[in-house]
C-alpha cells in the first residue's frame, strides 16, 4: 500500500528547516547548507553528484532511504525555485540542472498554471493549482504501488501534517542552531496528530528520528 512519507528532512536544533533570507544565491537560506552536512559526505550523495567514495554507515543508510521506494514526489513552489507570482516565462526549470534527482513524476504546488516540464532521467515536473489534496491524488496515481514523498519545504510539510496526510516522517536533527528561518513545527502538535517516535539513531553528524502513527 502506498505511504506518504517525509524522508531525509534536515532541521536545526531549534526547529528550522531552512535559514532566513532564501534567494537565488542561497536557496536554503543563510546557513541553510549547514543543516545537510550529515548527507554531503555519504556515498549516496557523492554518487548522486557523479563522484566516487563517501562514507557508509548510518548516515548513508538514511540518505539512501530518503530517495528510495518513491514513485512520485510533491514539492512546494519555493522548493522548485525562487520565482514568486505568475511565471514570467518558461526558462526556470528548477535548481538541479537538466537531470534532477527525482527520476519520477514530481508535482509542484502553485497558484499559477504552467505546462509540465519533461527533464532528463525520468523526472517530469507537473504543476498543480488545486491544493495539497489534488496534488496527493495525482501523486498516488502516478506512484502506483510505490510511496509518495513530500519533499518540502517546511511550509508544505506543515500543510500536509495539519491535514493528517503523512504516514511517516524522518528528520535529521543537525547540531546547528540557526535562530531564525522556516520553523517546521510552528503550529503543529505532533502527539495530538497521533505521531510517536518509532526509531532514532545518532551519529557524529546528526540524530535521525523517525515518527509514525
- On whether residue 97 sits in a domain, the answer given is no
Helices 154-162 and 132-143, axial angle in degrees (round to 10)? 90
Mean confidence (pLDDT) of the chain = 95
Helix (H, G, I), strand (E, B) or coil at 121: helix
Cell representation of residue 90: 518558461
Say which CATH number the domain at 203 has.
Answer: 3.40.430.10
Residue 132 lies in a domain: yes
Residue 124 has pLDDT above 90, yes or no: yes
**Residue 136 domain-assigned (yes or no):** yes
Digit-coded pLDDT (tens) for 168-205: 999 999 999 999 999 999 889 999 999 999 999 999 99
Instruction: Tell whether 138 is covered by a domain.
Output: yes
- Asked whether residue 102 is domain-assigned, the answer is no
Q: Are 43 and 77 in contact (CB under 8 A)?
A: no
Domain that holds residue 132: 4-83+107-212
Which conformational region is residue 164 in: left (phi greater than 0), alpha (psi within -120 to 50 degrees), or beta? Answer: left
Assigned domain for 20 exists = yes
Measured CA to CA, the distance from residue 106 to residue 126 in angstroms comes to 6
Domain-located, residue 207: yes
pTM over 0.75: yes
Count up the domains in the chain and report the number.
1
pLDDT digit string, tens, across residues 37-96: 999 999 999 998 889 999 999 999 999 999 999 999 999 999 999 888 999 998 999 999
Q: Quote the CA–CA distance of 35 and 23 in Å, as a whole number.
A: 17
Amino acid at each position: 500500500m502506498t505511504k506518504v512519507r517525509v524522508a531525509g528532512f534536515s532541521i536545526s536544533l531549534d526547529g528550522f528547516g531552512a535559514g532566513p533570507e532564501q534567494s537565488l544565491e542561497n536557496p536554503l537560506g543563510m546557513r541553510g547548507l549547514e543543516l545537510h552536512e550529515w548527507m554531503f559526505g555519504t556515498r549516496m550523495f557523492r554518487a548522486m553528484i557523479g563522484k566516487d567514495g563517501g562514507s557508509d554507515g548510518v548516515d548513508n543508510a538514511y540518505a539512501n532511504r530518503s530517495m528510495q521506494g518513491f514513485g512520485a514526489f510533491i514539492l512546494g513552489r519555493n522548493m522548485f525555485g525562487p520565482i514568486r507570482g505568475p511565471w514570467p516565462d518558461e526558462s526556470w526549470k528548477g535548481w538541479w540542472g537538466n537531470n534532477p534527482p527525482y527520476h519520477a513524476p514530481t508535482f509542484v504546488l502553485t497558484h499559477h498554471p504552467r505546462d509540465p516540464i519533461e527533464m532528463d532521467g525520468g523526472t517530469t515536473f507537473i504543476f498543480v493549482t488545486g491544493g495539497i489534496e489534488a496534488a496527493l491524488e495525482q501523486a498516488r496515481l502516478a506512484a502506483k504501488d510505490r510511496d509518495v514523498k513530500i519533499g518540502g519545504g517546511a511550509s508544505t510539510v506543515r500543510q500536509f501534517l495539519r491535514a493528517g496526510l503523512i504516514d511517516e516522517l524522518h528528520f535529521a536533527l543537525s547540531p546547528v542552531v540557526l535562530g531564525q528561518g522556516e520553523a517546521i513545527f510552528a503550529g503543529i502538535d505532533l502527539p495530538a496528530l497521533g505521531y510517536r517516535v518509532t526509531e532514532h539513531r545518532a551519529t557524529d553528524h546528526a540524530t535521525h528520528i523517525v515518527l509514525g502513527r
